[in-house]
A = this chain, B = another copy of it.
Amino acid sequence: MAEKDDDEIIEHHVCEEMEKKTNRNLDSHSFLESVTPSEKEGSSSTQSSHRLLAYSDALISIIATVMILPVSHTQIEPDKELQESLQRVLAAKIAVYLTTFLIVTVAWSAHVRLFQVIERIDDFLALLNLACMMLITFLPYTFSLMVTFQQDSFGILLFCCCAIVIGLIQAVIVVYGFDRPHLLNGQIQISENQTFYKYHILKIILRVPVFCFLAGIFSFIYTPLSYVLLGVVIFLPYITHPLKWCWAKAVGHQEEQPNGMMFYSYHPNEPLSKERIESFSDGVYAIVATLLILDICEDNVPDPSKVREEFEGNLIAALSVYGPEFLAYFGSFVTVGLLWFVHHSLFLHITKTTRLMGLLNTFSLAFIGGLPLAYQLTHEFPKNSLNELEAIQISCVIIFFAGIFQLAIWVTALFSEKETLHVYVRYGGKEHAFMFAKLALYPCVTLTTFFLTCILRRFSAQIFHLMEIIVPFAFLALRIVVRIVLALLKLVFCPSKSVHNADDDTRLPFNRVLS
């Protein structure tokens, strides 16, 4: 009887521990996680922040990609050379798109960090966050005002105002969160240095409003200086760590951070919520994949009267005019879909994501945002024109870079594979080879296509379309191909070993081949 009780107690204890673990690590939707009774008299009931963050990610991913719309709606006259029109009309808009994307992702990563510290929310924080979101969605517009009217200080003022208010709201969230410790991250909750954390985080968050305030003031006096200040604000998180490192090397001064400072450390290995990187990326991929169908649904339904007059009521003939648009849509949907598929496979194997990986992911996403535009261009010009060739090559370059940055995430993960990768996928295994093949497929194919179109200019369109058709099947056949290649490698390099336990032993020969 006593033994049974003991077991029960142990069981209970272990279950409790498991439950705690579950709650902390897995972001589950269990009862305990979603709502716990309020721990303080008078405070409203706390909730899991999971859905609030998913909604914020969706909003921010839409806003990050919005500035591609003015780019893709730029009318390019087919009689001009593409290069010329690109240089004149598009270059500025593309620059705006890329910079907005960067700025919004900086805002996003600040948001991610904030809610890594504040892990639970209540109604007040949810409403504050919505206000913050509204201001973030307004950033792209202020930025495009800034670019269009470079002489006028109003754009920069508006931008600074938004950034200041966003910073202040985040500061309020931090103060509110530290006042109610049950909202905080578990690690900080049990930490002795809570006050230190609070001031450290506040110091970093308030840096942005202060710099923006200065930039706003300088915009009246000397505008270039305020641009410099804004640039510093945006890139500060990325240069702080190298600067500190240099400073420490030069002066020999050691930092006084408490051990295990995991948040707001600006170390490239600082963890960045994997779940949020995934949901932000999903949002961007989903919007980019559907960008062209949005245009098609709005603009490419022919006018009934026109169909009657010009095509004698033949709807199919009228629609065939839009053929290139549909092709572009399917091409871009398939490419974005497959790049998402690679991204999805990649993040299945990663256990922990760092700031550096987040940054590489941002670069990959920025290129993907430009994809629909590039695909649209490939079909807008007369066949075999120089324009068409260039549009195809631009598409290849964009896909290449999107793929290369995905590969870079993988390489970064490999550098600290013990922390960031699942066991079975580490360097040298079969799964590793398969993942590597998946990641390398698009860069290799587009590079080949690029050089082929350089050599065989006449058949560039055919080569490109062939590439579009082959790639999905290549992904389907990839696992088999990798298996065959590994078996061949094994036969060549270790012919002594038996073949039939190929699954377990591929690790060794593959390692040997590579080293």
Pairwise interchain contact B479-A424, C-beta atoms closer than 8 A: no
Q: B11, B54, B63, B422: which contacts A10 (Cβ < 8 A)?
A: B11
Pairwise interchain contact B298-A73, C-beta atoms closer than 8 A: yes
Pairwise interchain contact B290-A63, C-beta atoms closer than 8 A: yes
Question: Is A1 close to B, CB under 8 A?
Answer: no
Knowing that A10-B11, A127-B472 are A-B contacts, what are 20 other residue pairs whose CB atoms are under 8 Å apart, sorted by A's residue number? A14-B14, A14-B18, A35-B349, A47-B348, A51-B282, A55-B282, A55-B286, A55-B340, A58-B58, A58-B283, A58-B287, A66-B294, A73-B298, A127-B341, A133-B337, A134-B330, A137-B293, A141-B300, A149-B307, A283-B286
For chain A, give the interface size range: 35 or more
Pairwise interchain contact B59-A290, C-beta atoms closer than 8 A: yes
- State A294–B307 Cα separation when bound (angstroms): 31
- State A316–B158 Cα separation when bound (angstroms): 11
Give the residues in chain B near A505, CB-CB below 8 Å. Answer: none
- State A134–B337 Cα separation when bound (angstroms): 9
Question: Is A218 close to B, CB under 8 A?
Answer: no
Residues 274-303 of A contacting B (Cβ, < 8 Å): 274-275, 278-279, 282-283, 285-287, 289-290, 293-294, 296-298, 300-302
Question: Is A441 close to B, CB under 8 A?
Answer: no
Also in contact, A141 and B58, with CB within 8 A (given A18-B14, A35-B349): no
Question: Is A189 close to B, CB under 8 A?
Answer: no
Give the residues in chain B near A148, CB-CB below 8 Å. Answer: 301-302, 304
Question: Is A26 close to B, CB under 8 A?
Answer: yes
Give the residues in chain B near A419, CB-CB below 8 Å. Answer: none
Question: Is A52 close to B, CB under 8 A?
Answer: yes
Q: Considering only CB atoms, which chain B residue lies closest to A22 in the complex?
A: B22
Pairwise interchain contact B54-A279, C-beta atoms closer than 8 A: yes
- State A15–B16 Cα separation when bound (angstroms): 10
Question: Is A140 close to B, CB under 8 A?
Answer: yes
- State A344–B54 Cα separation when bound (angstroms): 11
A439 to nearest B CB, angstroms? 14
Q: Considering only CB atoms, which chain B residue lies closest to A279 in the complex?
A: B54
- State A294–B141 Cα separation when bound (angstroms): 9
Give the residues in chain B near A283, CB-CB below 8 Å. Answer: 58, 286
Question: Is A431 close to B, CB under 8 A?
Answer: yes
- State A282–B348 Cα separation when bound (angstroms): 23
Q: Considering only CB atoms, which chain B residue lies closest to A336 in the complex?
A: B130
- State A441–B54 Cα separation when bound (angstroms): 25
- State A285–B27 Cα separation when bound (angstroms): 23
Residues 121-168 of A contacting B (Cβ, < 8 Å): 123-124, 126-127, 130, 133-134, 137-138, 140-141, 144-145, 148-149, 152, 154-155
Question: Is A187 close to B, CB under 8 A?
Answer: no
Pairwise interchain contact B130-A341, C-beta atoms closer than 8 A: yes
Also in contact, A286 and B59, with CB within 8 A (given A127-B472, A476-B124): yes
Pairwise interchain contact A293-B55, C-beta atoms closer than 8 A: no
Question: Is A315 close to B, CB under 8 A?
Answer: yes
- State A130–B297 Cα separation when bound (angstroms): 20
Residues 339-398 of A contacting B (Cβ, < 8 Å): 340-341, 344-345, 347-349, 351
Pairwise interchain contact B14-A293, C-beta atoms closer than 8 A: no
Pairwise interchain contact B44-A479, C-beta atoms closer than 8 A: yes
A479 to nearest B CB, angstroms? 5
- Sample 22 A-B pairs with CB under 8 A, ordered by A number: A11-B14, A14-B15, A18-B18, A18-B19, A22-B22, A26-B29, A27-B28, A29-B274, A35-B424, A51-B348, A54-B278, A63-B290, A67-B297, A123-B475, A123-B476, A127-B341, A137-B290, A145-B315, A149-B304, A152-B315, A154-B316, A155-B315
Question: Is A401 close to B, CB under 8 A?
Answer: no
Question: Is A206 close to B, CB under 8 A?
Answer: no
Pairwise interchain contact B293-A66, C-beta atoms closer than 8 A: yes
Question: Is A7 close to B, CB under 8 A?
Answer: yes
- State A286–B62 Cα separation when bound (angstroms): 8
- State A348–B51 Cα separation when bound (angstroms): 9
